[in-house]
Amino acid sequence: MPAAIETPAFEVLDAPPCAVGESPLWCVEEQALWWVDIDGYRLYRHDYTSGRTRDWTTPERPASIALHCAGGLVTAMESGVFHLRPGPAGRIGSRLLAAASHKHSGMRFNDGRCDHDGRFWVSSMVHDMSLALADGVLHSLSIDAELRPRLAGLVTGNGLAFSPTGDRLYLSDSHPTVRRVWAFDLDPQGRLSGRREFIDMRVHPGRPDGAAVDAEGGYWICANDGGMVLRFTPDGVLDRQLRVPFAKPSMCAFGGPDLDQLHVTSIRPAVPVPGYDAALAGAVVRLYAGVAGLPEPAFGRRREP
């Protein structure tokens, strides 16, 4: 029997709606949530204690972010991966860590996050998704700033996440022509092996966008265009379906003092979707998912076992 659809209570974060909200990231030390608006060229930070949200303008489209062990954020944009240092009064410092070597113009980086050994993983894509070109590549960035291609042939790479033990990598292709999630074995040197299909999203609502893994190893994937966040067990069995208040959830992340709040970003569609409150499109919401997540690793730092 399929998992029942749940409609949990949610809270909307006090922030402007995004055009393409993405990459929510909880910082335990700051007790704050970071996220980006890709097409809005914006970086946001919401402080849990004060409820205050701050924002910065970025020099390029910011696709994904991760914590940096020296402070600030690793940020994948259009021309490369950068170390950003947000400061007061909207000022932001930017240093290139590794330049992109895209196959052709019109490409940018997309979904990214750090593994347990301090590497930053990120997929590239053709910005115009209507072209459906499989020119995207999954890369890893080492602490010595070597940006290494790991897997080619992606249209819209997404869904990056790692198992609690760090030895499994999840990756999706969210393009409408693909709609798959794969699992890989990951060794300490960053080598991938054992690629296998983990989820065929063609039999589930929506497209497999951004993801997170909880402390039990459950894989939470945003069903973009399906208005849901789905949880799959490590064996690939769908066991939770959470309805969210927008049609296009884009990525989720655990946060809050006990890491038991699921934060979900969203995309504002060009045309309002019937059945959804247009005022919430592009919002960031948080809800209690009934399970805790894990602290996000930082670039350049191995996470303690």
Annotated catalytic residues are 209
Laid out side by side, the sheet with 11-12 consists of 11-12, 285-288, 261-266, 249-255
Nearest alpha-carbon partner for 139 in 63, 248, 213: 63
Residue 269's SS3 state is coil
Residue 88's SS3 state is helix
> Cα(211)–Cα(188) distance, rounded to whole angstroms?
22
Q: What is the tally of helices (H) and strands (E) in the chain? A: 0, 26
> Cα(231)–Cα(148) distance, rounded to whole angstroms?
30
